[in-house]
Amino acid sequence: MTLPNLAPIPELYVSHESALKLKVEAATLPSWDLTARQICDLELLMNGGFSPLKGFLSEADYNGVVDNMRLADGTLWPMPITLDVSEKFAEGIAPGQDIALRDQEGVILAILSVTDKWEPNKAKEAENVFGADDLAHPAVNYLHHTAGKIYLGGPVTGIQQPVHYDFKARRDTPNELRAYFRKLGWRKIVAFQTRNPLHRAHQELTFRAAREAEANLLIHPVVGMTKPGDVDHFTRVRCYEAVLDKYPQSTTTMSLLNLAMRMAGPREAVWHGLIRKNHGCTHFIVGRDHAGPGKNSEGKDFYGPYDAQDLFKQYEAEIGLTMVDFKHMVYVQERASYFPANEVPEGCTVLDISGTELRRRLREGLDIPEWFSFPEVVSELRRTSPPRAKQGFTVFFTGLSGSGKSTIANALMVKLMEMGGRPVTLLDGDVVRKHLSSELGFSKEHRDINIKRIGYVASEITKNGGIAICAPIAPYTATRRAVREMIEAYGAFVEVHVATPIEECEARDRKGLYKLAREGKIKEFTGISDPYEVPGNPELAVDTTGVDVDHCAHQVILKLESMGLIKG
Ligand code: PPS
């Protein structure tokens, strides 16, 4: 049997003494404050998780990766690991220059010696890497709306690891895991990648995988960044701890991986394999719809359920890791055990609960059967996801000036306060502009800042179990989506389009602003001289023309009831 190569792999860190010296010298360099995703990427670059990369991709490497999953020298690498920065920052930077990379508190983590600076073709990157330039893909949305316009590339000199205060004992660098495997004499190690809580099907699948490969098992969950809306990693790790006890003693271990996932399906599977190889593993489980991003803007899956397995198989030898492929596992009632979906004995009854169904049951406080999950896991999930009627949520009205947003929002607030149970906060457009955004005007940039501030406050209210009612114009789709993502991390986001036509709003002209806008006395006025992007898929649309406020507010109440957010 060939033994795994568990010798240490190269890291990008300098010695402790050099780091102290560099830190002082770096104080005078231009500084880039890394985003949350860049911190994850940097950590895995520095600790060898992304080996053989020595830094953020150069332009030639980036082009190779985007075009054919290869670095310029031909090495297999499927994911662009790039340092995206703003145009403003990039203006002052030229190849040949060093920059200090800092975390969000300003601590210097590394130095980037810039060799390349370029403006990427993001549409091409989206098509090639994620399969479509479709904003429904979270990484494509990130690429266009969060990532900076310019990429910087070059080798990285590591000064120190990003600091983590949570689950320290469960975080391992590739070399720490390699040393652990060496110490225990593990020769075959099968890794399981996950971003979800583990239920019985996963436990069964991973246990079978280890048995089939005659290997030890590494549960290797991602705790960096996963898909927006996923269960937070604190809850998940507590769930994983509970499931670890279900494996035969000393066969299985768990380590947390600070990876920022891209949800790139097949390419992501190859990338995950390379990362696990760097962590000393010999086998890797690829199941159904590996790292799948969900549906595209036409409601179809971005990738086929087994595309990831196919691509992995194609590159298996080069990745240097054996794939353990698994079909979807289902519970067979008559046998009281789990089977791969394609091996179910004939005539037997199959039971399964999808992720969506599980979320519904948690939301509505319904039963989650023992055959599906472990009681410890269910109680952990219930602790962080109380039924919807007890969670915070946000109602986000959007619409033209004078459409009736504030009036309905006020009526809704009063009705919700009458019901009681949760604190209600109204973040009305005008009120916010007075208290939170008094220095802002109506340029696109300022409107975006204004809406993101509202989103931030609403997300905090939602997180803490309250009800936030927002009523700004919020004319841009991308910004509304960003706010939705911020809030859905903690509770429901109910977008209500107050779809009163502009003719009606202008005829009302309650504040006299339309008249001034027509006369050119107010610039950039929404609907007249500035765009309003109509929501494509709001939870509710109401037109206030000829309808009284009470009726509109009641429609919202009915919607909230149907979503289980309030009890009728
Ligand atoms: S935005 O785009 O969401 O940031 O706008 P918002 O903060 O909701 O705007 C609140 C009110 O500002 C008044 N106002 C304007 N609206 C649109 N365009 C321009 N240029 C403008 N200048 C002033 C307007 O009365 C908005 O209030 P509502 O309640 O919507 O009528």
CATH number at residue 480: 3.40.50.300
For 116-163, the DSSP string reads: EEE---HHHHIIIIISS--TTSHHHHHHHHTS-SEEEEEEEEE--PPP
Measured CA angle at 197 (ends 196, 202), to 5 deg: 90
Answer yes or no: do 320 and 405 share one domain.
no
Ligand 1, residues 473, 502, 509: which to mutate, most atoms within 8 A of Cβ? 473
Say which residue the tokens 């320290």 belong to.
Answer: 168
429, 409 Cβ separation under 8 angstroms: no
For residue 447, the ligand 1 atom closest to its alpha carbon is 4
For residue 432, being part of any structural domain is answered with: yes
The three-class DSSP label of residue 6 is coil
First to last CA, the chain: 65
For residue 402, the ligand 1 atom closest to its alpha carbon is 31
For residue 559, the CA-to-ligand 1 centroid distance in Å is 26
For residue 105, the CA-to-ligand 1 centroid distance in Å is 34
For residue 350, being part of any structural domain is answered with: no
How far apart (Å, rounded) are the C-alpha atoms in residues 462 and 479?
18
For residue 453, being part of any structural domain is answered with: yes
Question: If you count them, how many residues does the chain have?
Answer: 568
Indicate if 70 belongs to the active site: no
For the chain, what is the domain count? Answer: 3
pLDDT in tens, the chain (568 residues): 456 789 999 999 999 999 999 999 999 999 999 999 999 999 999 999 999 999 999 999 999 999 999 999 999 999 999 999 999 999 999 999 999 999 998 999 999 999 999 999 999 999 999 999 999 999 999 999 999 999 999 999 999 999 999 999 999 999 999 999 999 999 999 999 999 999 999 999 999 999 989 999 999 999 999 998 788 999 999 999 999 999 988 899 999 999 999 999 999 999 999 999 999 999 999 998 999 998 999 999 999 999 999 999 999 999 999 999 887 889 999 999 999 888 999 999 999 998 888 988 987 889 999 999 999 999 999 988 788 888 999 999 999 999 999 999 999 999 999 999 999 999 998 889 999 999 999 999 999 999 999 999 999 999 999 999 999 999 999 999 999 999 998 899 999 999 999 999 999 998 999 999 999 999 999 999 999 999 999 999 999 998 998 999 999 999 999 998 998 7
Nearest CA to ligand 1 atom 12: 430
Nearest CA to ligand 1 atom 30: 401
Answer yes or no: do 294 and 245 share one domain.
yes
For residue 450, being part of any structural domain is answered with: yes
Domain residues for 302?
A: 168-257+263-331
DSSP code for 7: S
Answer yes or no: do 429 and 506 share one domain.
yes
Choose, from 115, 128, 146, 196, the residue flagged as catalytic: 196
How far apart (Å, rounded) are the C-alpha atoms in residues 217 and 363?
32
Answer yes or no: do 403 and 445 share one domain.
yes
Answer yes or no: do 107 and 199 share one domain.
no
Answer yes or no: do 429 and 504 share one domain.
yes
Which amino acids bring their CB within 6 angstroms of ligand 1? 401-402, 406, 429-430, 433, 442, 447, 450-451, 472-475, 511, 513, 522, 524-526, 530
How far apart (Å, rounded) are the C-alpha atoms in residues 292 and 266?
9
In the annotated binding site for ATP, the residues are: 399-406
Strands 492-498 and 540-542: parallel
Complex confidence, ipTM: 0.88
Say which residue the tokens 């670095």 belong to.
Answer: 71
For residue 450, the ligand 1 atom closest to its alpha carbon is 4
Answer yes or no: do 115 and 229 share one domain.
no
Indicate if 384 belongs to the active site: no
Q: Which of 106, 133, 158 is the last residue of a domain?
A: 158
Q: What is the pLDDT of residue 205?
A: 92
For residue 369, being part of any structural domain is answered with: no
How far apart (Å, rounded) are the C-alpha atoms in residues 483 and 506?
28
Choose, from 194, 278, 500, 544, the residue flagged as catalytic: 194
Nearest CA to ligand 1 atom 26: 401
Answer yes or no: do 112 and 202 share one domain.
no
The closest alpha carbon to 542, from 408, 414, 424, belongs to 408
Q: What is the pLDDT of residue 567?
A: 85
Q: What is the pLDDT of residue 271?
A: 98
DSSP code for 497: E
How far apart (Å, rounded) are the C-alpha atoms in residues 292 and 130?
10
Ligand 1, residues 401, 405, 476: which to mutate, most atoms within 8 A of Cβ? 401
Answer yes or no: do 419 and 514 share one domain.
yes
How far apart (Å, rounded) are the C-alpha atoms in residues 304 and 288?
9
The three-class DSSP label of residue 452 is helix
For residue 359, being part of any structural domain is answered with: no
Answer yes or no: do 150 and 175 share one domain.
no
How far apart (Å, rounded) are the C-alpha atoms in residues 408 and 326?
51
Quote the tokens at residue 45.
């670059």
Edge-to-edge strand order for the sheet containing 189-194? 252-254, 216-221, 189-194, 283-286, 322-325
Q: Which amino acid is at 318?
A: E
For residue 356, being part of any structural domain is answered with: no
For residue 383, being part of any structural domain is answered with: no
Answer yes or no: do 309 and 414 share one domain.
no
For residue 429, the CA-to-ligand 1 centroid distance in Å is 7
164, 258 Cβ separation under 8 angstroms: yes
The closest alpha carbon to 319, from 351, 289, 283, 294, belongs to 283
Q: Which of 331, 354, 369 is the last residue of a domain?
A: 331
**CATH number, domain with residue 181:** 3.40.50.620
Answer yes or no: do 154 and 173 share one domain.
no
Tell me whether the omega of the peptide bond preceding residue 52 falls within 30 degrees of 0, making it cis: yes
Which residues make Cβ contacts (< 8 Å) with residue 429, sequence separation at least 6? 405, 406, 471, 472, 473
Indicate if 195 belongs to the active site: yes
294, 302 Cβ separation under 8 angstroms: yes
Q: What is the pLDDT of residue 2?
A: 55
Name beta bridge partners: 216. Answer: 189
Q: What is the pLDDT of residue 201?
A: 93
Ligand 1, residues 432, 440, 497, 513: which to mutate, most atoms within 8 A of Cβ? 513
Q: What is the pLDDT of residue 355?
A: 82
Q: Which of 158, 180, 195 is the last residue of a domain?
A: 158
Q: What is the distance, to the nearest Å, from the Cα of residue 46 to the centroid of all Cα atoms in its chain?
A: 22
The closest alpha carbon to 311, from 73, 111, 68, 145, belongs to 68
Is residue 113 within a helix (H) or strand (E), and if so which, with residue range? strand 108-113
For residue 400, the ligand 1 atom closest to its alpha carbon is 30
